[in-house]
A and B are shown apart, each in its own frame.
Chain A
């Protein structure tokens, strides 16, 4: 330390390869290392390239932004605090250490004298040491999680264990090497390496300089062997995500997750839906290799939460396993031929594992919680729909109650087999025009099957119509001309039927010259907003929560009574997660309630499905595996007296769940429109 003052910081540097002879051998070893690693990457790239085309390089600015947020800043990973923090530490630790190694290479092998002065002291010594320590802390946290906390969502493999040990030993030997160098070379700048100086002093206390030189020599080569070993092995392990995750995040779907399902060219497609690996797009295949086995998708999956087979993580991992075992590149030459009479998948998927069995695939509510939570932008749900399509359109093998819904859609234009209601029953006794009576309405009220044909929801629909009348909105309904938008058909997997219904609806709306559509059903809303435009149907569609907020904002609708009860809002998946609308309903509710809103733990874009999406509301779930009861439990865990919803499917699912579990508690389920209508005093009505 006394010397330090006398030394000029501008000259600060250290010796490199001071103890290593034949260091050229390192580059000789690097060649096979890079060849093995390179082959591992090349092999996967070739597999991805066998996939179908997908346009995922548009809008580069948005994509770069996404990479900055989710790769460099690790925002999505940090949503899981513990895992996020250690991953952040490891991520930046390893990047820094790699950079430091490159600096040494430039300095020593390229003879560019950069490892000198303040850069050497601040970066190469101090900063690298600190980041190294942080990386060590990261590894320790990782070990605690994997061996002590043992969360259910992780996959416990030997591979993970060995990778963890490798990282630990590489980091540890790095610090030892640094310390022994400082000790043996009597480095005057040693204090700038806080860990190094401690190692140095401790080592000198127990061993002489010559001994340290010998163990340094051996450890240096050991450290190098481990690093090269890790580099060579990485592409064959889940560490491949070091490359694939940033690439996957860059090529992520940038649109609303609700609009991400693929369109099928029914004239040209070899098969409708997917049951062979090469039918996926290259992005789908890249998804499989980007998976880090973190298990977040499965931990938020409503079906999995209630104990069903479905597990998005295992679907991805099983597909990845199939991809590993398949020589996809061998198919490339074949290309597209005449559609065969009976399609024979080259690399079959469905039914090859329990996770890929038909039963599991048809437990999905398409809520997309998996897609939303994935830190590396994997799209699990759209793949499930791809596979469902094959079972529905090529095999006609899927749950009977979903078959009934599909048949009902085909024959009656609505999915509710056996309903005794007609599309206009809810309006009985109310006086307002259908599209036949009114030339150009301000908005078309798209009631939706859920709003018209289910007894319970007639109340909500009437409340909405009353609010519109109160606000003097010139609206009309299609009445019997309305049919299902096709949403359930599409989610169940009958894309053909979806297109038929969609085309028919677009035609009807164009005939009536409709421009603005208002709906209380987030599924209809999503279809209008994200799916009809791709079929030539451009309409401005608003969900009733947004529209009512607009009416209040414009002063057209005045509320004069306040609800005294405590309200909690259940975000419908197709409103919140799929379309990002989470504020409008809350603002509305806050205006009518004298108390602050309660929130469930899972809310907003991280909401938990009511269990009714993806055609699941037509299916009787096993009594002990009901998603709606799980969500009802979450609602009952708040002190709310009213569960407000904004979706006819959520209304019935939540009401059913709440009524089953509420016991003596006073709590009810209401659509926002009902809550709002109650906030208008009877005199003002």
Chain B
């Protein structure tokens, strides 16, 4: 089975709140002291792919669309024994959304060849839109199953387990197929062996620019026009503490009840 896993490099979502800042003009988070990490759900997707390959023979390609630094995510995938890796380098100055990303990924996938299974993370830890998988399937004209946490190959196709609000659904699907992967106890990302980390530095990574995919900046941008970020701000955390005054405990309770009622009514 030929598997392609899309990875996204993001700002470390575990950065302490005090260290997190944004640029309200460009609508971007500022990196500051935060590191760049691979989005956790993308790592779950890669883990699911690795487990699938352990059960039945296959080949894994890791693909990312991002700045040059995103190569680190690919190196880590190679250290975990992905067979090949491809970076589509973007201009760090331009901002992308799910739609533009899906367009670029689809073009890259077509150029990379035929795949049976294309896996993306459920959503990214930075914007949390969760749209790329569906839009990518649309671009490629393939069926799409979301929130999958387990995959078994079955005959010509696959059996998928997907999480729903109420439990799990078991889905049978033909290939080729796009799936989005969510986390479960089974797909906790493994960590690479040190020797494989060292070896991964020597492996080659295919690197393309948009023009290599026959795309122009304008084309990409126009595909994302349906969505516009109007404002980006840090919610202000406010907490107040009032002490209820009163001469007797009864008076205090009365006042307390009134205040509670007014808060509930206003909310």
Contact = CB atoms under 8 A, between A and B. Distances in A.
Interface stretch (A287-295, A366-374, A393-401, A547-555): A393-401
Nearest to B76: A410
B33 A425 contact: no
Contacts of A480: 19, 33
Interface in A466-496: 480, 494, 496
Interface in A248-292: 266, 271-272
Interface in B218-243: none
B18 A422 contact: yes
Interface string B134-158: 0000000000000000000000000
A412 B18 CA distance: 15
A496 B188 contact: no
Contact of B14 (A266, A400, A417): A417
Interface in B192-220: 192-195, 197-198
A663 interface: no
Contacts of A421: 16, 18
B173 interface: no
23 contacts: A266-B198, A392-B194, A394-B195, A395-B193, A396-B190, A403-B191, A407-B191, A411-B37, A412-B12, A412-B35, A413-B35, A418-B14, A419-B14, A419-B16, A420-B16, A421-B16, A422-B16, A422-B18, A480-B19, A480-B33, A494-B194, A496-B194, A496-B198
B189 to A, nearest CB: 8
Q: List the 4 closest pairs (A to B, CB-CB), nearest first.
A: A393-B194, A422-B16, A496-B194, A480-B33
A415 to B, nearest CB: 13
Contacts of A417: 14
A269 to B, nearest CB: 9
B167 interface: no
A480 B27 CA distance: 25
A272 B33 CA distance: 32
Contacts of A266: 198
A136 interface: no
A518 to B, nearest CB: 23
A411 B16 contact: no
Contacts of A271: 195
B37 A396 contact: no
A396 B191 contact: yes
Contacts of B37: 411
A425 B16 contact: yes
Interface string B41-63: 00000000000000000000000
Nearest to B80: A396
A420 B195 CA distance: 32
Contact of B193 (A394, A400, A419, A422): A394
Given A394-B193, A421-B18, A480-B19, 6 more contacts: A266-B198, A272-B195, A393-B195, A412-B14, A422-B16, A494-B194
A90 interface: no
Contacts of B192: 396
Contacts of B191: 396, 403, 406-407
A564 to B, nearest CB: 34
B128 interface: no
A343 B194 CA distance: 13
Nearest to B38: A411
B17 interface: yes
Contacts, number: 48
Interface residues of B, number: 18
B214 to A, nearest CB: 35
A411 B190 contact: no
Interface string B1-41: 00000000000101011110000000000000101010000
Q: Which of B16, B17, B188 has the most CB of A within 10 A?
A: B16
A422 B19 contact: yes
A266 B197 CA distance: 12
A86 B194 CA distance: 49
Contacts of A406: 191
B199 to A, nearest CB: 9
A272 B14 CA distance: 31
Contacts of B14: 412, 417-419
A418 B191 CA distance: 18
Contact of A393 (B16, B19, B193): B193
A419 B16 CA distance: 7
Interface string A418-445: 1111100100000000000000000000
Nearest to B199: A341
A400 B189 CA distance: 10
Contacts of A392: 194
Contact of A396 (B17, B35, B193): B193
Nearest to A497: B194
A325 B114 CA distance: 54
Contacts of A413: 35
A412 B12 CA distance: 8
Q: Which of B33, B37, B195 has the most CB of A within 10 A?
A: B195
Nearest to A398: B191
A152 B265 CA distance: 70
A413 B192 CA distance: 17
A496 B12 CA distance: 22
A412 B193 CA distance: 19
A272 B16 contact: no
A425 B19 CA distance: 10
Contacts of B198: 266, 496
A496 B197 contact: yes
A493 B47 CA distance: 23
Interface in B175-196: 188, 190-195
Contacts of B19: 422, 480
Contacts of A419: 14, 16
A395 B193 CA distance: 6
A480 B19 CA distance: 10
Interface string A612-647: 000000000000000000000000000000000000
B159 to A, nearest CB: 27
B12 A425 contact: no
A233 to B, nearest CB: 45
A628 B19 CA distance: 33
B190 to A, nearest CB: 6
A93 B125 CA distance: 74
B194 A411 contact: no
Interface in A348-394: 392-394
A392 B196 CA distance: 12
Contacts of B12: 411-412
A411 B37 CA distance: 7
A100 to B, nearest CB: 59
Contact of B194 (A272, A407, A420): A272
Nearest to A428: B18
A397 to B, nearest CB: 9
Nearest to A480: B33
A411 B35 contact: yes
B200 to A, nearest CB: 13
A294 to B, nearest CB: 36
A400 B16 contact: no
Contacts of A400: 188
B177 to A, nearest CB: 30
A345 to B, nearest CB: 14
A419 B188 CA distance: 20
A271 B191 CA distance: 18
Contacts of A496: 194, 197-198
A425 B195 contact: no
A417 B189 CA distance: 15
Nearest to B17: A420
Nearest to A494: B194
A413 to B, nearest CB: 8
Contacts of A422: 16, 18-19, 33
Contacts of B18: 421-422, 425
A343 B196 CA distance: 12
Nearest to A420: B16
